[in-house]
Amino acid sequence: MKILLAVDDSSLSSAAAGVVGARPWPSNTVVRVLSAVEPVPLPATELWYDTSNLIERAQQELHARAKALTERVTQTLQRSGLLAEPAVREGDPRSVIVDEAERWGADLIVVGSHGYTGLQRFLLGSVAQSVVNHAPCSVEVVRAKAAAAAG
């Protein structure tokens, strides 16, 4: 079985990782711990100084943090006895998760969700909702209540 665990640096991702690590899975299960790094937006107006180096450094820092996060979660899952591997991809998390699941042939995607509704969901968007709507496989959404119970 192939499980794609999408993580960011939130308590909900920790809860989702905890859910995956606590379950009994078939012996050949592999968990790919995925984090998406969104591109740093360019300034809307031209500035009087060159920002390209600053943007590049910011992007490198985001990538390094995502790499450290995925490696940390991977090690935790490995200590639980699972085969796990880290992966960092660049782009919008909504499409990165779905694209990775398609390319890798995932059987299950696990994501955390704040459970926002109404205006909050409209303004903040929902990665989990987008993944559920477009995923090529089953999706398990770990909600905020599960995160509170796990923490």
Residue spans of the domains in the chain: they are 9-33+54-108+117-150
Right CATH number for 9-33+54-108+117-150 from 3.30.70.1230, 3.40.50.620, 1.10.10.10, 1.20.1280.50? 3.40.50.620
pLDDT on residue 44: 56
Flag whether pLDDT at 49 surpasses 60.
no
Burial 82-112 (b: 16+ CB within 10 A, else e): bebebbbbeeebbebbbbbbeeeebebbbbb
89-122 residue pLDDT tens: 999 999 999 999 999 999 999 998 865 555 444 4
pLDDT on residue 9: 86
**Segment 3-16 mean pLDDT:** 91
pLDDT on residue 45: 55
Question: 45 or 66: which carries more pLDDT confidence?
Answer: 66
pLDDT on residue 123: 42
Q: What is the DSSP string of 20-86?
A: HHHS---TT-EEEEEEEEPPPPPPSS--SS--HHHHHHHHHHHHHHHHHHHHHHHHHHHHTT-EEEE
Share of the chain above pLDDT 70, in %: 79
Q: What is the DSSP string of 133-148?
A: HH-SSEEEEE-HHHHH
Question: CB 14: neighbour CB atoms within 10 A?
Answer: 19
Residue 144 contacts residue 117 (beta carbons within 8 Å): no
